[in-house]
Amino acid sequence: MDTSLIIETAYFVAALLFIYGLKRMSSPVTARSGILVAGWGMALAVVVAFLYGFDVNERAQPHLTMNIALVLIALGLGVGWAWYSGKKVAMTNMPQMVALYNGMGGGAAAAIAAVELFSGNAQAHGVVISILAVLGGLIGSVALSGSLVAWAKLDGRLNRVLRLPMQQLVNAVLFFASLATGAAVVTAGMAGAEPPMLLIAVFFLIALALGVMITTPIGGADMPVVISLYNALTGLAVAFEGFVLQNPAMIIAGTVVGSAGTLLTLMMAKAMNRSVTNVLFSQFGGDEEGDAGDIQGSMKASEASDAAIAMYYASKVIIVPGYGLAVAQAQHKLYEFVKLLQKQGVDVRFAIHPVAGRMPGHMNVLLAEAGVPYDIIADLEDINEDFTQADVAVVIGANDVVNPAARTRKSSPIYGMPILNVDQAHQAYVIKRGQGKGYSGVENELFYAENTAMVYGDAQKVMVQMIEAVKALG
Protein backbone atom coordinates (compact mmCIF):
# COMPACT_ATOMS: atom_id res chain seq x y z
CA MET A 1 0.00 0.00 0.00
CA ASP A 2 1.17 3.53 -0.78
CA THR A 3 2.87 5.16 2.24
CA SER A 4 1.18 8.52 1.74
CA LEU A 5 -2.23 6.82 1.69
CA ILE A 6 -1.50 5.14 5.04
CA ILE A 7 -0.37 8.46 6.50
CA GLU A 8 -3.41 10.37 5.25
CA THR A 9 -5.79 7.65 6.46
CA ALA A 10 -4.14 7.55 9.89
CA TYR A 11 -4.33 11.34 10.18
CA PHE A 12 -8.02 11.24 9.28
CA VAL A 13 -8.66 8.65 12.00
CA ALA A 14 -6.61 10.71 14.47
CA ALA A 15 -8.66 13.80 13.64
CA LEU A 16 -11.90 11.89 14.28
CA LEU A 17 -10.52 10.73 17.63
CA PHE A 18 -9.61 14.34 18.54
CA ILE A 19 -13.12 15.56 17.77
CA TYR A 20 -14.85 12.63 19.49
CA GLY A 21 -12.58 12.99 22.52
CA LEU A 22 -13.36 16.71 22.77
CA LYS A 23 -17.08 15.94 22.57
CA ARG A 24 -16.78 13.56 25.52
CA MET A 25 -14.82 16.16 27.50
CA SER A 26 -17.90 18.38 27.52
CA SER A 27 -19.39 16.41 30.42
CA PRO A 28 -17.72 15.55 33.75
CA VAL A 29 -19.20 12.04 33.45
CA THR A 30 -17.40 11.25 30.17
CA ALA A 31 -14.43 13.64 30.42
CA ARG A 32 -11.93 10.99 31.57
CA SER A 33 -12.67 8.70 28.62
CA GLY A 34 -12.62 11.72 26.30
CA ILE A 35 -9.08 12.52 27.37
CA LEU A 36 -8.03 8.91 26.71
CA VAL A 37 -9.66 8.90 23.27
CA ALA A 38 -7.93 12.14 22.27
CA GLY A 39 -4.67 10.79 23.69
CA TRP A 40 -4.89 7.70 21.50
CA GLY A 41 -5.49 9.99 18.54
CA MET A 42 -2.34 11.93 19.34
CA ALA A 43 -0.35 8.71 19.79
CA LEU A 44 -1.51 7.49 16.36
CA ALA A 45 -0.53 10.80 14.75
CA VAL A 46 2.94 10.67 16.33
CA VAL A 47 3.63 7.04 15.39
CA VAL A 48 2.48 7.39 11.81
CA ALA A 49 4.74 10.45 11.35
CA PHE A 50 7.71 8.06 11.28
CA LEU A 51 6.44 6.75 7.94
CA TYR A 52 7.67 10.00 6.39
CA GLY A 53 11.13 8.44 6.78
CA PHE A 54 10.40 6.17 3.82
CA ASP A 55 9.82 9.11 1.51
CA VAL A 56 12.58 11.65 2.19
CA ASN A 57 14.58 13.23 -0.64
CA GLU A 58 18.12 12.29 -1.53
CA ARG A 59 19.68 15.22 0.32
CA ALA A 60 18.09 14.10 3.58
CA GLN A 61 18.94 10.39 3.20
CA PRO A 62 22.42 10.62 4.82
CA HIS A 63 20.94 12.32 7.88
CA LEU A 64 17.90 10.07 8.27
CA THR A 65 19.30 7.73 10.93
CA MET A 66 20.63 10.57 13.07
CA ASN A 67 17.40 12.55 12.74
CA ILE A 68 15.25 9.58 13.76
CA ALA A 69 17.52 8.99 16.73
CA LEU A 70 17.13 12.64 17.78
CA VAL A 71 13.36 12.41 17.39
CA LEU A 72 13.26 9.28 19.57
CA ILE A 73 15.39 10.96 22.24
CA ALA A 74 13.13 14.02 22.20
CA LEU A 75 10.05 11.82 22.41
CA GLY A 76 11.53 9.86 25.28
CA LEU A 77 12.38 13.00 27.22
CA GLY A 78 8.96 14.53 26.56
CA VAL A 79 6.97 11.42 27.42
CA GLY A 80 9.08 10.74 30.50
CA TRP A 81 8.76 14.28 31.82
CA ALA A 82 5.02 14.41 31.12
CA TRP A 83 4.41 11.00 32.74
CA TYR A 84 6.44 11.88 35.85
CA SER A 85 4.99 15.37 36.28
CA GLY A 86 1.46 14.16 35.55
CA LYS A 87 1.71 11.47 38.24
CA LYS A 88 3.36 13.78 40.75
CA VAL A 89 1.38 17.00 40.36
CA ALA A 90 -0.99 17.93 43.16
CA MET A 91 -4.53 18.92 42.31
CA THR A 92 -3.82 22.46 43.55
CA ASN A 93 -0.96 22.72 41.07
CA MET A 94 -3.00 21.59 38.07
CA PRO A 95 -3.51 25.19 36.78
CA GLN A 96 0.27 25.66 36.71
CA MET A 97 0.65 22.44 34.73
CA VAL A 98 -2.01 23.52 32.23
CA ALA A 99 -0.22 26.85 31.82
CA LEU A 100 3.07 25.03 31.19
CA TYR A 101 1.51 22.67 28.63
CA ASN A 102 -0.05 25.64 26.86
CA GLY A 103 3.38 27.25 26.72
CA MET A 104 5.01 24.09 25.39
CA GLY A 105 2.40 23.85 22.62
CA GLY A 106 2.96 27.46 21.62
CA GLY A 107 6.70 26.99 21.83
CA ALA A 108 6.54 23.93 19.57
CA ALA A 109 4.59 25.89 16.96
CA ALA A 110 7.07 28.77 17.20
CA ALA A 111 9.98 26.33 16.85
CA ILE A 112 8.49 24.90 13.64
CA ALA A 113 8.10 28.43 12.31
CA ALA A 114 11.69 29.24 13.22
CA VAL A 115 13.05 26.15 11.44
CA GLU A 116 11.00 26.86 8.31
CA LEU A 117 11.93 30.55 8.19
CA PHE A 118 15.64 30.22 9.03
CA SER A 119 16.04 27.39 6.49
CA GLY A 120 14.14 29.29 3.81
CA ASN A 121 11.67 26.43 3.28
CA ALA A 122 8.64 28.59 4.07
CA GLN A 123 9.79 31.37 1.70
CA ALA A 124 10.45 28.79 -1.04
CA HIS A 125 6.81 27.68 -0.93
CA GLY A 126 5.39 31.11 -1.68
CA VAL A 127 3.92 34.15 -0.01
CA VAL A 128 0.92 32.44 1.60
CA ILE A 129 3.03 29.81 3.35
CA SER A 130 5.50 32.49 4.46
CA ILE A 131 2.71 34.59 5.96
CA LEU A 132 1.26 31.55 7.76
CA ALA A 133 4.70 30.65 9.13
CA VAL A 134 5.18 34.20 10.43
CA LEU A 135 1.71 34.34 11.98
CA GLY A 136 2.19 30.95 13.62
CA GLY A 137 5.58 32.04 14.91
CA LEU A 138 4.18 35.28 16.31
CA ILE A 139 1.18 33.68 18.03
CA GLY A 140 3.17 30.69 19.27
CA SER A 141 5.89 32.91 20.75
CA VAL A 142 3.33 35.09 22.53
CA ALA A 143 1.61 31.97 23.88
CA LEU A 144 4.95 30.54 25.05
CA SER A 145 6.26 33.55 26.97
CA GLY A 146 2.80 34.61 28.19
CA SER A 147 2.04 31.12 29.49
CA LEU A 148 5.36 30.97 31.32
CA VAL A 149 4.55 34.26 33.07
CA ALA A 150 1.08 32.90 33.93
CA TRP A 151 2.74 29.77 35.35
CA ALA A 152 5.10 31.89 37.47
CA LYS A 153 2.17 33.90 38.84
CA LEU A 154 0.06 30.84 39.60
CA ASP A 155 3.00 29.06 41.22
CA GLY A 156 3.76 32.01 43.49
CA ARG A 157 7.15 32.65 41.87
CA LEU A 158 5.97 36.02 40.56
CA ASN A 159 3.80 37.59 43.21
CA ARG A 160 3.90 41.19 42.09
CA VAL A 161 1.84 42.78 39.32
CA LEU A 162 4.46 44.51 37.18
CA ARG A 163 3.32 47.55 35.24
CA LEU A 164 5.33 50.05 33.27
CA PRO A 165 4.43 53.69 32.72
CA MET A 166 2.34 53.85 29.52
CA GLN A 167 2.10 50.06 29.55
CA GLN A 168 -0.48 49.89 26.79
CA LEU A 169 1.61 52.13 24.53
CA VAL A 170 4.63 49.86 25.07
CA ASN A 171 2.51 46.81 24.22
CA ALA A 172 1.15 48.51 21.10
CA VAL A 173 4.68 49.39 19.95
CA LEU A 174 5.82 45.78 20.43
CA PHE A 175 2.77 44.45 18.59
CA PHE A 176 3.23 46.64 15.55
CA ALA A 177 6.99 46.11 15.60
CA SER A 178 6.45 42.33 15.46
CA LEU A 179 4.06 42.76 12.54
CA ALA A 180 6.51 45.04 10.74
CA THR A 181 9.49 42.70 11.16
CA GLY A 182 7.30 39.73 10.17
CA ALA A 183 6.23 41.58 7.02
CA ALA A 184 9.88 42.38 6.26
CA VAL A 185 10.75 38.68 6.55
CA VAL A 186 7.98 37.77 4.07
CA THR A 187 8.99 40.59 1.71
CA ALA A 188 12.60 39.43 1.71
CA GLY A 189 11.43 35.96 0.73
CA MET A 190 9.38 37.38 -2.15
CA ALA A 191 12.49 39.10 -3.47
CA GLY A 192 14.28 35.77 -3.59
CA ALA A 193 16.98 36.91 -1.17
CA GLU A 194 18.66 34.67 1.40
CA PRO A 195 16.71 34.32 4.66
CA PRO A 196 17.49 37.46 6.75
CA MET A 197 18.79 35.67 9.84
CA LEU A 198 19.13 38.75 12.06
CA LEU A 199 15.68 40.06 11.10
CA ILE A 200 14.07 36.69 11.82
CA ALA A 201 15.80 36.51 15.20
CA VAL A 202 14.61 40.04 16.06
CA PHE A 203 11.08 39.09 15.02
CA PHE A 204 10.98 36.17 17.48
CA LEU A 205 12.56 38.20 20.29
CA ILE A 206 9.94 40.94 19.89
CA ALA A 207 7.14 38.35 19.84
CA LEU A 208 8.45 36.74 23.04
CA ALA A 209 8.74 40.14 24.73
CA LEU A 210 5.16 40.94 23.68
CA GLY A 211 3.84 37.85 25.47
CA VAL A 212 5.68 38.84 28.64
CA MET A 213 4.50 42.45 28.53
CA ILE A 214 0.86 41.48 27.91
CA THR A 215 0.73 39.05 30.83
CA THR A 216 2.73 40.69 33.62
CA PRO A 217 0.15 43.45 34.37
CA ILE A 218 -2.75 40.96 34.63
CA GLY A 219 -3.80 40.01 38.15
CA GLY A 220 -4.57 36.57 39.53
CA ALA A 221 -8.36 37.04 39.29
CA ASP A 222 -8.14 36.99 35.50
CA MET A 223 -5.74 34.05 35.21
CA PRO A 224 -8.44 31.47 34.32
CA VAL A 225 -9.43 33.61 31.33
CA VAL A 226 -5.79 34.23 30.39
CA ILE A 227 -4.96 30.51 30.48
CA SER A 228 -7.97 29.75 28.32
CA LEU A 229 -6.97 32.49 25.87
CA TYR A 230 -3.41 31.20 25.54
CA ASN A 231 -4.80 27.71 25.01
CA ALA A 232 -6.80 29.08 22.07
CA LEU A 233 -3.75 30.92 20.71
CA THR A 234 -1.64 27.76 20.93
CA GLY A 235 -4.24 25.85 18.91
CA LEU A 236 -4.31 28.61 16.29
CA ALA A 237 -0.51 28.66 16.02
CA VAL A 238 -0.39 24.87 15.59
CA ALA A 239 -3.04 25.06 12.85
CA PHE A 240 -1.04 27.71 10.95
CA GLU A 241 2.11 25.63 11.16
CA GLY A 242 0.09 22.60 10.04
CA PHE A 243 -0.59 24.47 6.78
CA VAL A 244 3.13 25.26 6.50
CA LEU A 245 4.06 21.56 6.87
CA GLN A 246 0.99 20.38 4.93
CA ASN A 247 0.10 18.20 7.91
CA PRO A 248 -3.67 17.55 8.13
CA ALA A 249 -3.52 16.25 11.72
CA MET A 250 -1.91 19.47 12.94
CA ILE A 251 -4.40 21.58 10.99
CA ILE A 252 -7.43 19.76 12.38
CA ALA A 253 -6.14 19.38 15.95
CA GLY A 254 -5.01 23.01 16.05
CA THR A 255 -8.32 24.23 14.67
CA VAL A 256 -10.29 22.15 17.18
CA VAL A 257 -8.19 23.38 20.11
CA GLY A 258 -8.25 26.97 18.86
CA SER A 259 -12.01 27.09 18.35
CA ALA A 260 -12.79 25.28 21.63
CA GLY A 261 -10.39 27.54 23.53
CA THR A 262 -11.89 30.64 21.94
CA LEU A 263 -15.43 29.60 22.88
CA LEU A 264 -14.33 28.82 26.44
CA THR A 265 -12.56 32.19 26.71
CA LEU A 266 -15.65 34.06 25.53
CA MET A 267 -17.90 32.09 27.90
CA MET A 268 -15.65 32.84 30.88
CA ALA A 269 -15.38 36.51 29.97
CA LYS A 270 -19.18 36.60 29.68
CA ALA A 271 -19.46 34.94 33.11
CA MET A 272 -17.43 37.85 34.50
CA ASN A 273 -19.57 40.32 32.52
CA ARG A 274 -16.46 41.60 30.81
CA SER A 275 -14.93 41.53 27.35
CA VAL A 276 -11.67 39.74 26.54
CA THR A 277 -10.07 43.08 25.66
CA ASN A 278 -11.14 44.40 29.06
CA VAL A 279 -9.45 41.42 30.72
CA LEU A 280 -6.23 42.00 28.78
CA PHE A 281 -6.01 45.76 28.96
CA SER A 282 -7.98 47.05 31.97
CA GLN A 283 -5.41 45.88 34.56
CA PHE A 284 -8.14 44.45 36.77
CA GLY A 285 -7.28 42.32 39.76
CA GLY A 286 -3.93 43.79 40.50
CA ASP A 287 -2.52 45.19 43.67
CA GLU A 288 -4.70 48.26 43.94
CA GLU A 289 -6.37 48.82 47.25
CA GLY A 290 -10.08 48.23 47.36
CA ASP A 291 -12.36 50.82 48.85
CA ALA A 292 -14.20 49.56 51.91
CA GLY A 293 -16.38 52.64 51.53
CA ASP A 294 -19.43 52.70 53.73
CA ILE A 295 -19.81 48.96 54.34
CA GLN A 296 -22.18 48.48 57.24
CA GLY A 297 -21.82 45.87 59.97
CA SER A 298 -18.87 43.91 61.27
CA MET A 299 -17.33 40.48 60.88
CA LYS A 300 -18.65 37.97 63.42
CA ALA A 301 -16.63 34.88 64.30
CA SER A 302 -18.24 31.49 64.84
CA GLU A 303 -16.99 28.10 66.01
CA ALA A 304 -16.85 25.28 63.50
CA SER A 305 -19.01 23.12 65.76
CA ASP A 306 -21.78 25.76 65.86
CA ALA A 307 -21.82 25.99 62.06
CA ALA A 308 -21.89 22.17 61.76
CA ILE A 309 -24.82 21.84 64.15
CA ALA A 310 -26.75 24.55 62.28
CA MET A 311 -26.32 22.58 59.06
CA TYR A 312 -27.18 19.28 60.73
CA TYR A 313 -30.64 20.58 61.66
CA ALA A 314 -31.20 22.46 58.37
CA SER A 315 -33.41 21.29 55.51
CA LYS A 316 -31.39 22.72 52.65
CA VAL A 317 -27.66 23.55 52.53
CA ILE A 318 -25.73 25.00 49.57
CA ILE A 319 -21.93 24.79 49.53
CA VAL A 320 -19.78 27.20 47.48
CA PRO A 321 -16.24 25.82 46.97
CA GLY A 322 -13.32 28.07 46.07
CA TYR A 323 -9.58 27.98 45.65
CA GLY A 324 -9.06 27.84 49.43
CA LEU A 325 -10.67 24.39 49.42
CA ALA A 326 -8.10 23.22 46.86
CA VAL A 327 -5.20 24.72 48.79
CA ALA A 328 -6.29 22.95 51.98
CA GLN A 329 -6.99 19.71 50.11
CA ALA A 330 -10.20 19.53 52.11
CA GLN A 331 -12.44 18.06 49.40
CA HIS A 332 -12.41 14.52 50.84
CA LYS A 333 -13.26 15.68 54.38
CA LEU A 334 -15.90 17.99 52.94
CA TYR A 335 -17.64 15.13 51.15
CA GLU A 336 -17.40 12.99 54.29
CA PHE A 337 -19.21 15.77 56.14
CA VAL A 338 -21.77 16.11 53.34
CA LYS A 339 -22.61 12.39 53.55
CA LEU A 340 -23.30 12.79 57.27
CA LEU A 341 -25.70 15.63 56.49
CA GLN A 342 -27.41 13.62 53.75
CA LYS A 343 -27.79 10.70 56.15
CA GLN A 344 -29.65 13.10 58.42
CA GLY A 345 -31.96 13.99 55.52
CA VAL A 346 -30.45 17.38 54.64
CA ASP A 347 -30.70 18.42 50.98
CA VAL A 348 -27.10 19.38 50.10
CA ARG A 349 -25.98 20.88 46.80
CA PHE A 350 -22.78 22.45 45.49
CA ALA A 351 -22.83 25.79 43.62
CA ILE A 352 -20.00 26.36 41.12
CA HIS A 353 -19.11 29.80 39.78
CA PRO A 354 -17.70 29.72 36.20
CA VAL A 355 -14.42 31.36 37.26
CA ALA A 356 -14.03 29.65 40.65
CA GLY A 357 -10.51 28.38 41.26
CA ARG A 358 -7.63 29.16 38.93
CA MET A 359 -8.61 27.44 35.73
CA PRO A 360 -11.83 26.50 33.93
CA GLY A 361 -13.55 23.56 35.65
CA HIS A 362 -11.11 23.59 38.57
CA MET A 363 -13.80 23.06 41.22
CA ASN A 364 -15.57 20.37 39.20
CA VAL A 365 -12.33 18.39 38.94
CA LEU A 366 -11.66 18.85 42.65
CA LEU A 367 -15.09 17.59 43.68
CA ALA A 368 -14.93 14.72 41.21
CA GLU A 369 -11.64 13.64 42.78
CA ALA A 370 -13.43 13.34 46.13
CA GLY A 371 -16.25 11.30 44.56
CA VAL A 372 -18.97 13.95 44.86
CA PRO A 373 -21.87 12.86 42.59
CA TYR A 374 -22.40 15.10 39.58
CA ASP A 375 -26.13 15.40 40.19
CA ILE A 376 -25.65 17.52 43.33
CA ILE A 377 -23.26 19.94 41.58
CA ALA A 378 -24.90 22.90 39.84
CA ASP A 379 -23.66 25.87 37.82
CA LEU A 380 -24.43 29.46 38.77
CA GLU A 381 -27.39 29.94 36.45
CA ASP A 382 -29.01 26.70 37.62
CA ILE A 383 -28.79 27.25 41.38
CA ASN A 384 -28.69 30.99 42.04
CA GLU A 385 -32.43 31.28 42.62
CA ASP A 386 -32.29 28.47 45.20
CA PHE A 387 -30.26 30.48 47.70
CA THR A 388 -33.41 32.22 48.98
CA GLN A 389 -34.77 28.81 50.04
CA ALA A 390 -31.48 27.65 51.59
CA ASP A 391 -31.34 27.48 55.39
CA VAL A 392 -27.55 27.61 55.29
CA ALA A 393 -25.02 28.58 52.62
CA VAL A 394 -21.36 27.72 53.23
CA VAL A 395 -18.49 29.43 51.41
CA ILE A 396 -15.18 27.55 51.54
CA GLY A 397 -12.18 29.50 50.28
CA ALA A 398 -14.08 31.64 47.76
CA ASN A 399 -14.20 35.43 47.83
CA ASP A 400 -14.91 37.70 44.85
CA VAL A 401 -17.49 35.33 43.32
CA VAL A 402 -19.80 35.83 46.35
CA ASN A 403 -19.22 39.56 46.91
CA PRO A 404 -22.54 41.50 46.75
CA ALA A 405 -20.56 44.63 45.80
CA ALA A 406 -20.61 43.24 42.26
CA ARG A 407 -24.33 44.05 42.16
CA THR A 408 -24.45 47.46 43.78
CA ARG A 409 -21.09 49.22 44.04
CA LYS A 410 -20.41 50.88 40.69
CA SER A 411 -16.94 51.98 41.77
CA SER A 412 -15.90 48.39 42.42
CA PRO A 413 -13.66 46.65 39.83
CA ILE A 414 -15.95 43.62 40.02
CA TYR A 415 -19.14 45.62 39.42
CA GLY A 416 -21.38 43.80 36.96
CA MET A 417 -19.82 40.37 37.44
CA PRO A 418 -22.50 37.73 38.11
CA ILE A 419 -22.07 36.30 41.61
CA LEU A 420 -23.53 33.44 43.62
CA ASN A 421 -26.32 34.83 45.81
CA VAL A 422 -24.98 33.52 49.11
CA ASP A 423 -26.12 36.68 50.91
CA GLN A 424 -29.74 35.71 50.16
CA ALA A 425 -29.59 32.51 52.23
CA HIS A 426 -31.11 32.58 55.71
CA GLN A 427 -27.69 32.01 57.27
CA ALA A 428 -24.24 32.11 55.65
CA TYR A 429 -20.96 30.74 56.98
CA VAL A 430 -17.61 31.63 55.43
CA ILE A 431 -14.69 29.29 56.11
CA LYS A 432 -11.52 31.32 55.65
CA ARG A 433 -7.97 31.45 56.95
CA GLY A 434 -8.13 35.17 57.76
CA GLN A 435 -9.74 38.46 56.83
CA GLY A 436 -7.85 39.04 53.58
CA LYS A 437 -9.38 40.39 50.39
CA GLY A 438 -9.96 38.50 47.17
CA TYR A 439 -7.90 38.75 43.97
CA SER A 440 -9.75 41.93 43.03
CA GLY A 441 -8.39 43.66 46.13
CA VAL A 442 -11.79 44.86 47.39
CA GLU A 443 -13.54 44.21 50.66
CA ASN A 444 -16.22 41.54 50.58
CA GLU A 445 -19.55 42.94 51.77
CA LEU A 446 -20.84 39.42 52.45
CA PHE A 447 -18.40 39.05 55.36
CA TYR A 448 -20.00 42.05 57.10
CA ALA A 449 -23.62 41.03 56.52
CA GLU A 450 -25.97 40.48 59.45
CA ASN A 451 -26.69 36.88 58.43
CA THR A 452 -23.02 35.92 57.92
CA ALA A 453 -20.60 34.35 60.39
CA MET A 454 -16.90 33.72 59.80
CA VAL A 455 -15.31 30.38 60.67
CA TYR A 456 -11.58 31.06 60.68
CA GLY A 457 -9.05 28.34 60.02
CA ASP A 458 -7.62 25.90 57.51
CA ALA A 459 -10.51 24.35 55.59
CA GLN A 460 -9.42 20.76 56.21
CA LYS A 461 -9.05 21.29 59.96
CA VAL A 462 -12.40 23.05 60.08
CA MET A 463 -14.06 20.16 58.25
CA VAL A 464 -12.56 17.69 60.72
CA GLN A 465 -14.00 19.73 63.60
CA MET A 466 -17.40 19.82 61.87
CA ILE A 467 -17.39 16.05 61.34
CA GLU A 468 -16.56 15.47 65.00
CA ALA A 469 -19.31 17.89 66.09
CA VAL A 470 -21.94 16.14 63.97
CA LYS A 471 -20.87 12.66 65.05
CA ALA A 472 -21.10 13.78 68.68
CA LEU A 473 -24.80 14.46 68.11
CA GLY A 474 -25.27 10.77 67.49
CA dist., res. 43 & res. 219, Å (int)? 36
Burial 60-90 (b: 16+ CB within 10 A, else e): eeeeeeeeeeeeeeeeeeeeeeeeeeeeeee
CA dist., res. 152 & res. 157, Å (int)? 5
CA dist., res. 411 & res. 293, Å (int)? 10
Integer CA distances (angstroms), 359 to 3, 317, 366, 451, in order: 42, 26, 11, 31
Largest CA distance in the chain: 85
Q: For residue 400, indicate whether it is catalytic.
A: yes
Backbone Cα Rg of the chain: 26
Question: How many helices (DSSP H) and strands (DSSP E) are in the chain?
Answer: 18, 6
Q: How would DSSP label each residue in 171-230?
A: HHHHHHHHHHHHHHHHHHHHTTPPP-HHHHHHHHHHHHHHHHHHHTT--GGGHHHHHHHH
Catalytic residue among 386, 400, 423, 458, which?
Answer: 400
CA dist., res. 218 & res. 372, Å (int)? 33
CA dist., res. 127 & res. 192, Å (int)? 11
Contact yes or no for 387/450 (Cβ under 8 A): no
Query: Which class for 451: exposed (0-12), middle (13-18), buried (19 or more C-beta within 10 A)?
Result: middle
Active-site positions?
Answer: 400
